[in-house]
Structure 1
Amino acid sequence: MGPIVDKKASIISFQNVSKIYPNGVQGLKDLNIDIKQGEFVIVVGLSGAGKSTMLRAINRLHEITSGDIQIDGKSITKAKGKELRLIRRDIGMIFQSFNLVKRSTVLRNVLSGRVAYHSTLKTMFGLFPKEDKQLAYEALQRVNLAEKVYTRADELSGGQQQRVSIARALTQEPKIILADEPVASLDPVTTEKVMDDLLRINHELGITIVVNLHSVDLARQYGTRIIGLRDGEVVFDGPVAKATDETLRGIYGEKILEEPKPEGVTV
């Protein structure tokens, strides 16, 4: 029997978090957000609203100016050295640009999710134990790419590359997966496959997932909770059912809701 999961525990907690860039621009303004273990949260807003800044602050790819961010009860803001590495090990990251080593095989790319568990020397020479290879193979099965295990990453389509990056994050055995505009460069059909993978991982493994998206339709289709940012502030935080057109106007303004979709495109 697995560990008893306290669904009410906050796995990510923003406490009065602000971020001011060196040029004086305020990226985040006094954020107070609690994300529970096992939630599937979608962060929406216009470009420049602070979505990427917020997401990258969670694993400290961006430093915050004030406040505190806690991961599973530990402050990542104050953590240093080994403690910071251990907290980050629990946080998988998926990028818009895939961030794969194009000349390496799919297996080597996915195994790079294990580097935080081993010495630098071992990982430099690709000396991963059998258990790691099994984890990598199982992760590829989850995203339906097991047959591509020895294919070079640059021989894959964009959608397949993004699913490899999901498998890499899974192989890390994280408690949290962050996805920063993971479908921005993908066509609508591939977008659905990638979002379906993330949703299935959330449901089957109970991994907390936070995704940044531009698309209102996708947010409504996949999210259980939507956080809307505008100019670095939270202007909406609630269940999808409460994200009405009026609410979304508060996040995006009038324009985005009135733009007609191109013919033949569905998301």
Structure 2
Amino acid sequence: MEKKAVIEFKDVKKVYPNGTVGLKNINLSLYEGEFVVVVGLSGAGKSTLLRTVNRMHDITSGDLLIEGQSIVNLKGKALRNLRRKIGMIFQGFNLVKRASVQRNVLSGRVGYYPTWKSVLGLFSKEDKQKAVEALKRVNMASKIYTRADELSGGQQQRVAIARTFMQDPTIILADEPIASLDPKTTKSVMDDLKQLNKDFNMTVLANLHSVDLALEYADRIIGLRAGELVYDKPIAEVSRSDFDSIYDESKNKLSKEA
């Protein structure tokens, strides 16, 4: 049975206003249910690649398709509907610190409500129960009424994963989700992401610095260097020595547009 392409980059280029080339002619297809890890040095274009998928960054040229539909010209409601199906997990958690865990998790449903209802916190009974179930998945249900700023970093990231689950996404983007966490908490967060990937067939695209974590969790590893795709292999074909070229600092400086 042929795999379904969920994300397709077609000759994608991203040039920033100062002339720096963030992505250079990226051709890449990601498939339903894959757990794909992007590796490369800081400044290689990893975050740029992720943020083009939900249009946090617009591309300069080429085309980008989600589930077969070009997203480069989406606006208004169509763009909001796209973002509803793409969960984003940030390094800095992006929680409302003064709000409760419950309210933060329910914010994952705002795309399904009129603005006035979400502002007033008028979420349905079903969605409130869904929030409880989402928190149970990440072992955080006991903290449902706790303020986010009273949680540890690892707890906050697990709340962020529960919030993402509330969107019912088909894609999860994780931008260095464990960069500020200790090793034990890192494993818990990565296990949560892998479980969502396996249980719900969500496509996960994650940026990671750790080679060990990439080897442990990925189905496929992609390497970026200076905005270019320089590596793409299923995990069964990946060897540790492959990372030496990807992380070659002498080749990794982002270029200026000629």
Does TM, scored on the shorter chain, surpass 0.5? yes
2:213 maps to 218
Match for 1:124 among 119, 141, 145?
Answer: 119
Match for 1:168 among 163, 166, 177?
Answer: 163
Letter in 2 for 1:232: G
1:153 maps to 148
**What is the 5 A alignment of 1:202-217?**
202-217=197-212
Pairing 1:17–2:12 present? yes
1:38, 1:206 within 8 Å by CA — same for their partners in 2? yes
**What is the 5 A alignment of 1:77-226?**
77-226=72-221
1:262 maps to none
Unaligned runs of 5+ in 1: 1-5, 256-267
Tell me how far 1:253 sits from its aligned partner.
2.1
Tell me how far 1:249 sits from its aligned partner.
1.3
1:260 maps to none
Q: Percent identity?
A: 62
Deviates more, 1:212-221 or 1:72-81: 72-81
TM-score (norm: length of structure 2): 0.94
Tell me how far 1:140 sits from its aligned partner.
0.5
2: CA distance, partners of 1:252 / 1:242: 18
2: CA distance, partners of 1:138 / 1:7: 33
- The Cα offsets for residues 162-212 of structure 1, whole Å up to 9 and x where unpaired, read as 000000000011111100000000011110110000001111111111110
Name the Cα RMSD after superposition. Answer: 1.3
Tell me how far 1:98 sits from its aligned partner.
0.2
Pairing 1:51–2:46 present? yes
Tell me how far 1:254 sits from its aligned partner.
8.0
Match for 1:228 among 217, 223, 230?
Answer: 223
Unaligned runs of 5+ in 2: 251-258
Which protein has greater RCO, CA pairs closer than 8 Å, 6+ apart?
2
Distance 1:140 1:7, change over 3 A: farther
Letter in 2 for 1:168: R
Aligned length: 250
